[in-house]
Amino acid sequence: MTDSAVAVIRAGALTTVQDLGRPGHAHLGVPRSGALDRPAALLANRLVGNGTSAAVLETTLTGCALRPRRTLTAAVTGAHCSVTVDGRPAAWGAPVRVPAGALLDIGHARAGVRSYVALSGGVAAEPVLGSRSTDLLSGLGPAPLADGTVLPLGVAGGPYARVDTAPQPRPPVELVLRVTLGPRADWCTHEALKTLTTRAYRVSPASNRIGLRTEGPPLERAIPGELPSEGLVSGAVQVPPDGRPVVFLADHPTTGGYPVVAVVREADLWAAAQAVPGTPVRFVL
């Protein structure tokens, strides 16, 4: 291992390596994967002078702590949290200099779910099918971080951004997901579609990178059973047998047999990555 590496001192609840994912392989059963809050990941890379395809770390609720072996620039975006370097407060949402051997600690999320940690040069884990993203559904890409994991870093490229703080959206107090109906809206009753688009749901604690699960009034099916398996997209609102809609996120399966009654606009999906369990959800046409 060269000095261009970072040691994981505290992995946190679930910290994974993410980039923009591995599109183009869905026909082989390979999910797209990639950062769940893509704008936050892109911003973190921009702040440290990385290219858009550099791999960052995606934390889940409890942050992580890292000790780089070389001096680097880091930036933490996404879920709002404390950032310290060797115990001294540092900026969230701005470039931070981390000397070689110093401890970069990303604290628990104060608002939102997932923080993104960009390191100058990017995380240079071994790519799989052109991407370094951890895919939790199919187990492709680097394993989730563990205490003691050492990750290689790439060569730092451009200069870091000269900003004090970069503007970022606040995590949603209420998650409003604009949808278009279909392709299988006819598998639910008219009443159920009205329920979906008028009643309030909440983010279920069972949500993960595969899907945002919801709690709320179950949707009644007009047609029982399963469809022959068909391709799925990110943002698909699937109705499983319990009738509670699931919104598919980056690590979703590539095919499935439960009906997809609506699809969330891509621009609204990033906020879904930051909605803590219990957040009210509204699906609007």
Partner 1 sequence: MSAAHTGPDGGRAAAHGAADRPRLTTRLVGEHALLVELDSGSAVEALHAALLERREAGSLPPVREIVPAARTVLLDGVHDPRALAADLPSWDVPAQPAPARDTVELPVRYDGPDLAEVAALWGVPVDEVARIHAATEFRVAFCGFAPGFGYLTGLPERYATPRRATPRTSVPPGSVALAGPYTGVYPRSSPGGWQLIGTTDAVLWDHTRVPAALLAPGTRVRFVPAGPAVRP
Q: Which is nearer to partner 1, 13 or 223 (CB)?
A: 223
Q: Which is nearer to partner 1, 47 or 247 (CB)?
A: 247
- DSSP element (H, E) containing 196: helix 190-198
Q: Which is nearer to partner 1, 119 or 193 (CB)?
A: 193
Q: Which is nearer to partner 1, 23 or 217 (CB)?
A: 23
Shortest CB 180 distance to partner 1, Å: 6
Whole-number Å distance between alpha carbons of 273 and 285: 20
Alpha helices by DSSP H, listed for 49-114, are: none
Name the nearest CA neighbour of 75 among 33, 116, 29, 14: 116
DSSP per-residue letters across 89-150? EE-SSS-EEE-TT--EEEEEEEEEEEEEEEETT-B-PPPBTTB---BTTTTBSSPPP-TT-E
Shortest CB 212 distance to partner 1, Å: 15
* Residue 241 backbone phi and psi in degrees, to 5: -55, -30
Shortest CB 256 distance to partner 1, Å: 8
Report yes or no: 103 and 188 within 8 Å, Cβ to Cβ: no
Q: Which is nearer to partner 1, 185 or 273 (CB)?
A: 185
Residues that bind partner 1 in the complex, under the rule CB under 8 A: 23-30, 128-129, 138-140, 180-187, 190, 193, 228-233, 235-236, 253-256, 260-261, 263-266
Shortest CB 86 distance to partner 1, Å: 38
Shortest CB 260 distance to partner 1, Å: 7
Name the nearest CA neighbour of 222 among 264, 252, 194, 255: 194
